[in-house]
Amino acid sequence: MTSFEDPLAQALREVPTKGQRPIELIERRARTIRHRRRAALAGVALAAAGAVAVPSFGTLAGETVRDIRPVGPTNTTSAPTCASWTGEQQGDFRTLADVPDQMRLLWTQSAPQPTEANMVDFSNAEEIVTDRTPENCEVPEGTDTVDEHAGVWLFNVEDNVVTRVVSVSGPNPKAPQAYDGRRVIETEAGPLELSAMRYDRRQAVWPAEGTAGYWVSWIHGEMSDAELIELAESVTLANGRVDVANWSGANDRTVILQASDLKPDPDGDLTSFNLTGGPVSLWAWEGPFSGVAHWDDVDVGDQLVDINGRPGVLRTGPSGRLRWVTSDGVLVQLEYVGRDGQENLLAIARSVQPVPADDERLNAIWQDEPPADAGD
Amino acid sequence: MHDEFADWYGALWPRVLRAVTISVGDQDLAEEATAEAFARALARWPGPAKLHSPAAWLHRVAVNEVRTRWRRSRLEHRVVEQLGAQTQHHSPAPEPRDDALWSAVAALPDRARQMVALRYVLDLPEAEIATMLGVTRGTVASTLSKARQQLNSVLAESRPEPAPTVVREEMS
């Protein structure tokens, strides 16, 4: 009898529990963890002292992943060990005066008063070990074969709303695994393998002519087979860049961006300024960022908006999100948890301005140290 | 990425929360710790989705989080005592419930509760539980056996009595 057929197991699975916590709160906490991962655990430094960094055999598209293995006597009990001890970046909390002027932002909209503000500086970050106990054993990062931050992204826009997102990357040395509903379409470029990814997305893979590699395209939104075949037959590599200029799908209502201009987090943790007040939170990442970096992660249904002359992208839903790049090259993300009051997000964004280091509101809530419960 | 995590979160939350609740015996604390475990998973996404048993990993992180909070509260408790102030008991007691089974689970020793949660809620094999908790498989088996005896007796008492069988004599 498996435990699922067991009356005791069935009874235990009926023990009442609380409902699911809103995912927006999980996301917010995850972001905080990522950007405050660090210093709260005193034991971390001890662990780092007893560890040696060795280069990993596994690398991800130019990013070096390091395995950190403890030295000295090893635990010989049956307790589990980590398959990969991933290094962490340790950032330092800064004083308000240390925050660069262009990142010391505050909204002046009368809505939620900020109650928490801090900045974590990763400019002098050193790799450390997170924890050596099996309970906290960190898991390895993903090892996808396709680097979604290479190649080109095409965003079709109708009435300021994104209607289709297409990425084309390659040549990739390996063809990624097909998803469900695999179908092969013959093209002049060779057999094109189409499969259905989750959430209405599709993956297309076809040989990259003159190479041993493959083009990979991810599609969200409507695209006919004829359009897809034309894409496969027209994409080229020009001066090391993916060129889709000859594809009719790239029309005058299409925003075409190099993925390398979008990627906001090329080297792990970025120095960030954070401001939180009730359901609203603001993240500012030190740049300089390209003027299109706010397009990273744009999806079908997102709206293009204007924030005091700067282009922004607004996403609404259970939580709202608005991103833009300031004239100083700072990438800003304003978030609103919950639907009530979310319509004010754009007005709040338009009121965001740099403030001086002696600003009373900021000084009243500034944190130079990580909160006691921020340990990771 | 967001959609994939949302799907994963929705699928795993009830099971993991139930296991953590049984393991720690405090519903509020379990909910807090489980949320923290999912947040850590998202901070490391998509790594946790590729684990052999993501639910077991989440449970471990959550229970460890609870232990950390207990340690912290015990430390606060000690400091308050040293200051001669009136002490407060911070350790979470199992939640009072009318449910007899829950009461019986809550009365189990800490380690037994964890094993029960891992075996009967997360459906992990005994060998894996032994590895996770750093004990032998025999210890897991014997602990679970004792726990089963206690819980099954409660379960049997709470079951409705079977209806008496009516034997109808055939009239000749």
Q: Is A76 at the interface with chain B, CB within 8 A?
A: no
Nearest C-alpha in A relative to B59? A135
Would you call B7 and A17 a contact, using CB atoms and an 8 Å cutoff? no
A286 within domain boundaries:
no
Q: What is the pTM of this model?
A: 0.58
Residue A75 distance to chain B (closest CA, Å): 11
Would you call B51 and A139 a contact, using CB atoms and an 8 Å cutoff? yes
A102 within domain boundaries:
no
> Which tens digits make up the pLDDT trace of A251-260?
888 999 988 7
A232 within domain boundaries:
yes
Distance CA A363, CA A365 (A): 5
Residues spanned by the domain of A174: 152-261
Residue A34 distance to chain B (closest CA, Å): 6
Residue A30 distance to chain B (closest CA, Å): 4
Which residues in chain A are closer than 8 Å to B47, comparing Cβ atoms?
A: 139-142
Which residues in chain A are closer than 8 Å to B13, comparing Cβ atoms?
A: 20-21
The pLDDT value recorded for residue B1 is 53
Distance CA A352, CA A243 (A): 37
Highest mean pLDDT among A147-151, B34-38, B68-72, B168-172: B34-38
Looking at chain B, which residues constitute the CATH 1.10.10.10 domain(s)?
96-159
A167 within domain boundaries:
yes
**Residue A307 pLDDT > 60, yes or no?**
yes
Q: In this structure, which topology does domain B96-159 adopt according to CATH?
A: Arc Repressor Mutant, subunit A (1.10.10)
DSSP H or E stretch at residue A58: strand A51-60
Mean pLDDT of A362-367: 88
Alpha-carbon torsion (B156, B158, B159, B164), positive or negative: positive
Average pLDDT, chain A: 74
Provide the CA B18 distance to its chain's centre, in angstroms. Answer: 6
A-facing residues of B in 16-75 (CB < 8 A) are 17-18, 21-22, 27-28, 30-31, 35-36, 38-48, 50-51, 57, 60-61, 63-64, 68
Would you call B105 and A34 a contact, using CB atoms and an 8 Å cutoff? no
Residue type (1 letter), B123:
D
How sure is the predictor about A170, in pLDDT bands with cuts at 50, 70 and 90?
Answer: confident
Residue B142 tokens read as 């014997």
Distance CA A325, CA A287 (A): 9
Contact between B31 and A18 under an 8 Å Cβ cutoff? The reply is yes
| Count of structural domains, chain A | 1
From the list A21, A77, A199, the residue facing B31 with the nearest CB is A21
A157 within domain boundaries:
yes
The pLDDT value recorded for residue A264 is 62
In this structure, what are the phi and psi dihedrals at residue A193, rounded to the nearest 5 degrees? -95, 120
Would you call A138 and B38 a contact, using CB atoms and an 8 Å cutoff? no
For chain A, the distance separating the N- and C-terminal CA atoms, rounded to the nearest angstrom, is 39
**Residue A339 pLDDT > 50, yes or no?**
yes
A178 within domain boundaries:
yes
Would you call A139 and B47 a contact, using CB atoms and an 8 Å cutoff? yes
Residue A31 distance to chain B (closest CA, Å): 7
Would you call B123 and A140 a contact, using CB atoms and an 8 Å cutoff? no
Q: What angle do CA A255, B6, A306 make, to 5 degrees?
A: 30
A198 within domain boundaries:
yes
Q: In 3D, which of A339, A331, A271 has the Cα closest to residue A307?
A: A331
From the list A2, A9, A30, the residue facing B43 with the nearest CB is A30
Phi-psi region of A312 (alpha: psi -120 to 50; beta: other; left: phi over 0): beta
Would you call A15 and B3 a contact, using CB atoms and an 8 Å cutoff? no
The pLDDT value recorded for residue B150 is 84
> Which tens digits make up the pLDDT trace of B103-145?
888 888 888 899 999 998 888 888 888 887 878 888 888 889 8
**Residue B83 pLDDT > 60, yes or no?**
no
Would you call A29 and B39 a contact, using CB atoms and an 8 Å cutoff? yes
From the list B7, B22, B40, the residue facing A15 with the nearest CB is B22
Q: In 3D, which of A112, A32, A113, A120 has the Cα closest to residue A365?
A: A113
pLDDT > 90 in chain A, percent: 30
A251 within domain boundaries:
yes
From the list A8, A77, A133, the residue facing B148 with the nearest CB is A8
Residues 6+ apart with CB under 8 A from A367: A93, A116, A117, A118
How sure is the predictor about B71, in pLDDT bands with cuts at 50, 70 and 90?
Answer: low
**Residue A84 pLDDT > 90, yes or no?**
no
Q: Is B131 at the interface with chain A, CB within 8 A?
A: yes
Interface test with A, best of B123, B136, B146 (most A CBs within 10 A): B123
